[in-house]
Structure 1
Amino acid sequence: MRVEIWSDIACPWCYIGKARFEQGLAAFPHRDEVEVVHRSFELDPKAAPASGETVVDMLAAKYGRTREEAAAMEENVASNARSEGLGYLTEGRDHGNTFDIHRLLHLAKARGRHSELLDLAYRANFAEERSVYAPGTLVALGVEAGLDEEEVRGVLADPSAYADDVRADEREAARLGAGGVPFFVLDRRYGVSGGQPAELFTQALQQAWETRGATV
């Protein structure tokens, strides 16, 4: 059985949802027969490569809130992250375009290092003082994930490298009706949106497993 997960490194609920899905998968009796495929989705494709704007300031402007209200929104998300054992910085994180990160994740997928890079990128963005929008950070993360440094630099220097793969994932998300992320698709028959509780993911996996071969 295949589970496809559309997500964006800039999305905190994708970070949280990944952890909750993995907990739900761990409780699923047939977990060893589940293939998990991560796919690309940009929440803000028009964002500048590195805006220099903090996430709190971006949220305040986007939702018409005061900075204090935006900071409270971030603290609520942080509480959810920390309840899953995840690190989360509410201040100082920056905001930018994630297209290069997605391109690099497709390189990592081609080299069998996707899971390693995805985890490192989430941690760098949400739990550490590292900007995932800076090319130097992306190179360092790629090397930490086990990729060849020169190949990483080559992909980042060529805007067309793996661009078609990212766009294909995004077109498929649109075709399936995904308006936001995280978006989980189980065996191309069931969809789960958002960072749901681990128990819900276990239930969804069980339902998909029991109805394999049936028409939904």
Structure 2
Amino acid sequence: MRVEIWTDIACPWCYIGKARFERALAAFEHRDHVEVVYRSFELNPKAEDGTTPIIDAVAAQYGRTREQQVAREEYAASEAHAEGLGFRVGARVHGNTFDLHRLLHFAKARGLQIELMNLALRVNFAEERSIYDRETLVSLAAEAGLDEAEAREVLADADAYAQEVRADEREAAELGAGGVPFFVLDRQYGVTGLQSVELFGQALEQAWQNRPATRHPGTAA
């Protein structure tokens, strides 16, 4: 069974939702037969420089006051900490995630997508280091086990894996995803937004029980 997760590294709810889904998956009886694939989604494709403080940028994007956005950040931090995740409030910056999405597709082709995803999320939220600096991205790719020179070549070529990112985004739109995180289980069920561990567990059970009859029990899809 396949679970596809549309996400953006800049999204705190994706960071927390990933942890909750993983907890549900760890408790799922058939977890060894579940393939998890991350897909690209840009919350703000028009974002540019990667130097504007996240609180100011997102407040302006959604028409909130700075105080309102600080409160949302503090709430996200409390939810992250409840999951055992690092989350700092104040110094994170906002920028365009397209290059990181391209690099994640490169990592997927090398079987290291989740490793790079985990590192990027940690750096962005727990360490509040910029994920928009190219040298940082190359360093993260190498830490994830990717070839540093190849990662640098991917980032230098604006067309490398660009079609894969755009294809993910088109598919998200076709499936009706207006935001992330967006979970699709076995192409049968969709789960949107920050949900509980219990709900993810129920969704996994339901998707497993309702797999097409052509599949045999115990086989992966």
TM range (shorter): over 0.9
Q: What residue number does 2:186 align with?
A: 187
For residue 135 of structure 2, what is the aligned residue in structure 1? 136
TM-score by length of 1: 0.96
Give the alignment of 1:74-113 within 5 angstroms.
74-113=73-112
The residue number in structure 1 matching 2:39 is 39
Unpaired runs of at least 5, structure 2: 214-221
TM-superposed CA distance for 1:73, in Å, is: 1.3
Unaligned residue ranges in structure 1 (runs of 5+): none
**Superposition deviation, residue 63 in structure 1:** 3.0
Normalising by structure 2, report the TM-score: 0.94
How big is the shift at 1:175? 0.9
Runs of 4+ in 1 over 3 A off after TM superposition: none
Are the equivalent residues in 2 in contact too, given 1:18–1:195 (CA < 8 A)? no
Specify the SS of the correspondent of 2:51.
coil
State how 1:23-172 maps to structure 2 within 5 Å. 23-48=23-48, 50-172=49-171
Deviations along 1:174-209, one digit per CA (max 9) or x if unpaired, are 111111100000110100001211111010000111
Does the alignment pair 1:8 with 2:5? no
- Could you tell me whether the CA contact under 8 Å between 2:50 and 2:130 is conserved in 1? no
Deviations along 1:147-171, one digit per CA (max 9) or x if unpaired, are: 1111011001000000011011111
Question: How many Å separate the matches in 2 of 1:2 and 1:20?
Answer: 17
What amino acid maps onto 1:61 in structure 2?
Answer: A
Secondary structure at the counterpart of residue 191 of structure 1: strand
Identity percentage of aligned residues: 69
2-side partners of 1:65 and 1:2: how far apart? 37
Asked whether the 8 Å contact 1:89–1:126 carries over to 2, the reply is: yes
Distance 2:58 2:42 in 1: 16
1:64: Cα distance to partner? Answer: 2.8
Q: What RMSD over aligned residues (CA atoms) do the two structures have, in Å?
A: 1.0
What is the identity, as a one-letter code, of the residue corresponding to 1:204?
A
Q: Counterpart amino acid of 2:19?
A: A
Q: How many residues align?
A: 213
Q: Which range moves more in the overlay, 59-68 or 124-133?
A: 59-68
